[in-house]
Chains A and B, each alone.
Chain A
């Protein structure tokens, strides 16, 4: 048990307390190059926002309040909670060369810079204007985002999986279990351990008795 605990500890990604989170995912080579183990960088202060107060989700339409693309609306492509960052598609971009090797200068692409949460607001879908947001409870007890200006509920965007699978259109493969088989209930609670239950079902007779052993 201690070995598995050790293995699981090693498997879980551990970061130093002053790790600086960037736009690259921590397991990529670029992030490892920017944050080698012994490096100490100037500390960035991140406003502490509780999980309940965070109101921007990937796929939301937001408007930028300050910066180069002030006043423009865009869809959220990525949210980085460690730095309170929001990356929009195609907005707040700077240009750089990528994939240069030898003499070839590389491809000139636009890469988005992250925006702080306080520099963006959600957009009311009905009148497409920026608005302040509050978390309120509906009659049913559901916690929803409500725009303060109009009082309308802002629905959560449809969650799109990164691998492009749409659960409603999924076709099971030969090794997949069908939903009916998966949800079929076969468990009857009983005072039998798994081993006893399985031995009964497989008609295994265990007549041997364990030798007396001492636990200390």
Chain B
């Protein structure tokens, strides 16, 4: 039984070594390619220290770095070292509106991965004190993501309005704070009802009686400032009209 276990173990180890040797061999190849590029990132430096010292010694136990999918943090290999990388126009909201929810979901993650790649590139360029190649790509991706978010919000809003008539996704109400100001209070999610929440009960959503006269005064102040602004605007328009009189068709340039 122990012999069987031991033999199985050795078989596993041999397999393990073979896997390791294969991986270390490919690692050296990757490292040689990566080393000659403009950003020598942490990854390739790690490979350098691990593999370059003993490329022929495949028998020794290396712990291979997990490379699965990490290449997606970097651009396509043919763009490495370029000063400018060509990129197309960002997605517009009109183009995104004709896509199904599943497509939008997948597209979001495509954008996210591209954004992560560009941010890695930006950080590496800062570290190397070199200009980032084509920084407008980052702006394009961010704008596309914002537009996707807008489209999804539109769809959610329309569904909610249709089914419930609620204008806002998050519940709230108009409340008056201690200073007498009316504001839109946005509700928060709690595990316990309000009458058991001592901290919430300490919050005052009413104005005390000694504050009441000041509400009227602040309202008067606000109205006065609004009227002053409007009057100032009208005065400015009048003085501009006096400064730049409108020429009639007869008094044209030639």
Contact = CB atoms under 8 A, between A and B. Distances in A.
B152 A194 contact: yes
Nearest to B237: A48
Contacts of A170: 88
A175 B100 contact: no
Interface string A183-216: 1111110011110011001000000000101111
A194 B189 contact: no
Contact of B88 (A48, A176, A183, A188): A176
A50 B7 CA distance: 88
Interface string B215-254: 0000000000000000000000100100110000000111
B99 A194 contact: no
B139 to A, nearest CB: 11
B87 A214 contact: no
A121 interface: yes
B254 to A, nearest CB: 7
Interface residues of A, number: 34
Given A172-B88, A191-B159, A193-B159, A215 B104 contact: no
A174 B76 contact: yes
A45 B162 CA distance: 50
Nearest to A163: B136
B163 interface: yes
Contacts, number: 88
- What DSSP secondary structure best describes chain A's contact surface? loop
Counting chain B CB atoms within 10 Å of each CB, the highest count among A175, A201, A211 belongs to A175
A173 B87 contact: yes
B101 A194 contact: yes
B192 A214 contact: yes
A47 interface: yes
A198 B104 CA distance: 10
A3 to B, nearest CB: 13
Given A175-B114, A197-B102, A215 B97 contact: no
A132 interface: yes
A45 B243 contact: yes
Contacts of A56: none
A44 to B, nearest CB: 11
Given A198-B102, A201-B102, A213-B189, A187 B97 contact: yes
Interface string B73-101: 00010000000001110010001011111
A188 B152 CA distance: 14
Contacts of A177: 88
A130 interface: yes
A1 B240 CA distance: 41
Contact of A213 (B91, B190, B194): B190
A177 B90 CA distance: 10
Given A132-B253, A173-B87, A182-B95, A214 B159 contact: no
A213 B191 contact: yes
A65 interface: yes
A47 B99 CA distance: 46
A186 B88 contact: no
Interface string B181-224: 00000011111111000001000000000000000000000000
Interface of B: 76, 86-88, 91, 95, 97-105, 114, 152, 155-156, 159, 162-163, 170-171, 187-194, 200, 237, 240, 243-244, 252-254
13 contacts: A45-B243, A47-B243, A47-B244, A121-B253, A130-B254, A132-B254, A175-B87, A194-B104, A197-B101, A213-B191, A215-B190, A216-B190, A216-B193
Interface of A: 1, 45, 47-48, 65, 121, 130, 132, 170, 172-177, 182-188, 191-194, 197-198, 201, 211, 213-216
